[in-house]
A = this chain, B = another copy of it.
Amino acid sequence: MEVSALAFDVFGTVVDWHSSVAAEVGEAAVRNGLPLADGAAEEFAGEWRRRYGPSMDRVRSGEIDWTALDDLHRASLVGVARQFSLEGLGEAELDRLNLAWHRLRPWPDAVEGLGRLRRRHVLCTLSNGNVALLVDLARFGGLPFDCILSAELCHAYKPDPRTYRMVPALLRRRPEQVMMVAAHAVDLRAAAAEGLRTAHVHRPLEWGDAGGEERPPDDAFDVVAADFLDLAAKLEAAAG
């Protein structure tokens, strides 16, 4: 292997969006005298995230022009708030809550693991989150990325092939010198189709206790790792 750069999916792979967003939903509800039933904040977070794919589909299909994820999140939030009887949150509170996606806590292994991986590799994001969101996330979590790459830079959402091609093009590497790291098989398969290497990291708590994506077969990707520290160990071992 001659991988010299790692491109990271972010939501669910680097950061725990579910518990982070749920916590901010609960706080916003209490702050506005609209307390939620037990478990409702977690359900709210899950429902908001379930609208993520369909909202990007409107861009992918050409139904709407390029729209940054912050704005897709904000539009989805109106419907989710209604569904959970939180219309009482005003516009300013909804604007504030929308920024919960800029303040997502890294998984426990993420900061140390990225630091270790960065010794031998250039680290970039490759996320559907917009640049401002990713910059805030990296600052909030102390994530040592060398470069913030986003679907926003090519106005196309993953798994559009243009997003994966952007990484070797901007980092001036061959596709096989770049490894996509993600907790999601669909992301990795699309990266592999553009010639990138792939590493799967299992994040069983991505959706909270509700359970995450089914674990893909171990032979589907170049590396299968339990977390970023395991990934670092495996890449170090492969490099000899």
Contact = CB atoms under 8 A, between A and B. Distances in A.
A215 interface: no
A153 interface: yes
Contact of A132 (B131, B148, B152, B171): B171
A66 to B, nearest CB: 12
Interface in A54-85: 68, 70
Interface residues of A, number: 19
Contacts of A124: 135
A127 B131 CA distance: 17
Interface string A113-134: 0000000001010000011100
A171 B122 contact: no
A21 to B, nearest CB: 19
A222 interface: no
A147 interface: yes
A177 B170 CA distance: 27
A236 interface: no
Contact of A147 (B148, B172, B173): B148
A171 B68 CA distance: 12
